Structure 1
């Protein structure tokens, strides 16, 4: 008699009845509860998991199935939003009146979802070299006289980041107020994180983990709701934001180093009213982690506005766009769909993780049908296997729809995140093109209006194109069957939230 048969005989009849009853109840409960206020594709994804693995899938859904923060956390976010004067520098009325109608509609859509007022007078420098961006941030911190606000999804102490970490320590030693926010689960798994914590503590720097998952200390929310923002504000006069974390470009993992993987990021250095708005985003997140609202008596963010010796402002129009759980669901998805629907000449998208939601896919294919040129820039390789295979599952459809796909050659990992529309509109920041950035993560992006900025971004794109190859349909269809199987299987997870 075989082992399964022996085990079946050994199970008491009542236990078998209980097991099958629990199995059936889980399936029936899932069928009637999971679709509630959830997009059908996400509901089908969860139902598939639970119907295959009822008990395990049900437990996973209880932990990860609700894309929402605890009520206490949402209350703090709303309270902070009420304290921060979002109508600080530049109310945007004049800028909006001078914009083309389609761009003015975009600005109003963003403000409806909690974005800051649009403002003019910005100077924005694009930093598309990884080491140059780290060096520029270190130099900025060394020049800070009053305060440094440092917020990154991933930050560690290693040889590449030493100038930045040493600059933070030196700033604190000379009496500058230094506040540091680092995402808990985002950074904790990387070599160099513990060393960063040790050095921050030793230097007496005030720092906090963002969205900590430490239930033994009463700190818990859905573990994969993360703060993905990258913000550095110096004295309220200069800010950095973009897609790059503060870590060596190999991300310090032995597997990455064996494969020779090297990340390519993109940061912006900003002067103008958006600095105060980015500082407001930092202040809100700081308040959520510390209960300390770092506002001056006039209810503005510390140091908002240019210092007397600041460089002259530029001419770019800019709007700061925070998004995330508790800030209006899918605000960045609605922004991108609106931009794609109103584009007239071209759409250029660069994202390391491009797993389009149904409405985004339809917006892009409709744009092509209207005669708009659509190009996607993505990495040939990635460190996130499941997301990468889910992304690959869309390539055939995209190419057949007339969308050109450029894959940046391995072992480089293209990690820049931006969208260019026609000749005058750009969105740059931390947001990917997947359900995680649309629903689960706190992100911050910049909407920039101005041909000068878009021309500079086109230079970046031209550099990417030189190191990329355009994916052809015949070559893609010829890939091995096991890769197709992995791509198709991973696609089933793309809508889970």
Structure 2
């Protein structure tokens, strides 16, 4: 039977099929999206207006979430079995020393929340902004003699990206084993020739993908947002920077770029290597070389790596923020480029303010994503009305992810205060328990607050009606941002 594609009957069938697919997708969302808010945010429009939401759901939704998580967990298990014979965890003394700390004891959930132990005798240094960070990273790589592990969410083929490429090619030519991992979606603009040149020079480089083939291009969720560099098992780096000239302030709209990284040495580098190894094993089904030093100076600080992601049995990242906020006795300072917390974290911040804790959140004054910025603004206004002090950083774009709790607990890493970091991305955060280092973080943040404008209660009430509508629409879709 010949179907007339212009007939009302054809369009009726087409609409019927779209609505049927919408109902199926809505049911899929209800069963697979991790939070009730996110499930409703997808299911309702899929049910009522599928012709507008089916394609976005294919791109942003929790498609094959359970299958991917199961496969990822299986890969992690295989990797840990492969690692078991290496006997590379001489952690007993460092772990016992960490457990004896009163400050660490305040974070009562942390020993069970992170699968990696808190370890004593680490050395840490704060790296403020891109120039200082990449000088330190390149200097460490220049001294490499055995193995370099490099992982970033974004690598650009620009001046900074090519400088990294050159130093890695030089070290590979010297016989150093070099392993590079970047996110396939985060680095979508990275040309193939960049990787090909590194491979030709002996560097092992791969893109992280949740699944292979065309469909991974459509799947922007479950991205690897981690930033890790480890050199010879001697020195490592984590923080907020990616490899791109904009992180050095090259984008006039966002310059000067404000970001924070950390340089680390000590036993906790084993945990950074383990996190890298899990991601590398997922992509290649091979284990990279893992190097541990034999002994460490006794005068170091306590550190715990928190490698979180959608394959965790718990919602590790959001639970970490909850534990940090709830443990605070007199101070919680947080900086994040995106302020779209879930209900639990948002409630914890407001409750902390109500019980007299000095709660401050530093966010950007310039948007790099307008919808997220609008949602952040609404959350910020509600937080101010609840007694949380909200600040907008003025000089340039704020991208750092830093937490400071009381006098000796601080955290620097890749995780933002949003649903994507809480539940969809692979993140790495380094928790440090040390008063001297926390004092350094405090001095840095005090300077940031001095360069910020506090959001007033009057400002929250003076918003134009049209702006309020826009912010509320952005908040409605915040669970899926």
Shift of 1:34: 3.1
CA distance in 2, matches of 1:99, 1:349: 22
- Runs of 5+ in structure 2 lacking a partner? none
Q: Is the 8 A contact 1:420 1:454 kept in 2?
A: yes
The answer to whether residue 10 in structure 2 is matched with residue 15 in structure 1 is yes
Partner residue, 2:89 = 88
Partner residue, 2:411 = 427
The answer to whether residue 455 in structure 2 is matched with residue 474 in structure 1 is no
Shift of 1:393: 1.6
| Cα displacement string for residues 283-323 of structure 1 (whole angstroms, at most 9, x for unaligned residues) | 1211111111135xxxxxx221258xx8x464210111111
Q: Is the 8 A contact 1:134 1:164 kept in 2?
A: no
- Runs of 5+ in structure 1 lacking a partner? 1-8, 296-301
Q: Is the 8 A contact 1:96 1:107 kept in 2?
A: no
Q: Is the 8 A contact 1:149 1:232 kept in 2?
A: yes
The answer to whether residue 110 in structure 2 is matched with residue 107 in structure 1 is yes
Shift of 1:19: 4.3
| Cα displacement string for residues 431-459 of structure 1 (whole angstroms, at most 9, x for unaligned residues) | 01111111111111111111111101001
Partner residue, 2:350 = 365
CA distance in 1, matches of 2:458, 2:325: 27
CA distance in 1, matches of 2:391, 2:428: 25
The answer to whether residue 203 in structure 2 is matched with residue 205 in structure 1 is yes
The answer to whether residue 39 in structure 2 is matched with residue 36 in structure 1 is no
Shift of 1:247: 1.2
| Cα displacement string for residues 223-268 of structure 1 (whole angstroms, at most 9, x for unaligned residues) | 3221000000010111111111111135899xx44x2534221111
Aligned counterparts, 1:1-12, within 5 A = 12=7
Q: Is the 8 A contact 2:98 2:120 kept in 1?
A: yes
Q: Residues 281 and 10 from structure 1, CA distance in 2 versus in 1: closer, same or farther, beyond 3 angstroms?
A: closer
Q: Which is worse superposed, 469-478 or 421-430?
A: 469-478
Q: Residues 364 and 172 from structure 1, CA distance in 2 versus in 1: closer, same or farther, beyond 3 angstroms?
A: same
TM-score by length of 2: 0.90
Q: 2:56 aligns with which of 54, 57, 60?
A: 60
CA distance in 2, matches of 1:324, 1:224: 11
Partner residue, 2:241 = 244
CA distance in 2, matches of 1:87, 1:359: 38
The answer to whether residue 393 in structure 2 is matched with residue 408 in structure 1 is yes
Query: What SS is found at the alignment partner of 1:233?
Result: strand
CA distance in 2, matches of 1:334, 1:212: 24
RMSD of Structure 2 on Structure 1 (CA): 2.7
Q: Residues 250 and 120 from structure 1, CA distance in 2 versus in 1: closer, same or farther, beyond 3 angstroms?
A: closer
Shift of 1:100: 4.4
CA distance in 2, matches of 1:189, 1:423: 42
Q: Which is worse superposed, 83-92 or 464-473?
A: 83-92
Aligned counterparts, 1:91-170, within 5 A = 91=92, 92-100=95-103, 102-103=105-106, 105-111=108-114, 114=115, 116-170=116-170
Aligned length: 470
CA distance in 2, matches of 1:328, 1:408: 36
Shift of 1:109: 3.1
Q: Is the 8 A contact 2:113 2:316 kept in 1?
A: yes
Q: Is the 8 A contact 1:172 1:204 kept in 2?
A: yes
Aligned counterparts, 1:254-269, within 5 A = 256-257=251-252, 259=253, 261-269=255-263
Partner residue, 1:452 = 436
Shift of 1:30: 5.5
CA distance in 1, matches of 2:107, 2:209: 34
| Cα displacement string for residues 39-74 of structure 1 (whole angstroms, at most 9, x for unaligned residues) | 221122112432453134234334432245624343
Q: Which is worse superposed, 98-107 or 272-281?
A: 98-107
CA distance in 2, matches of 1:41, 1:159: 42
Shift of 1:144: 0.6
CA distance in 1, matches of 2:25, 2:279: 34
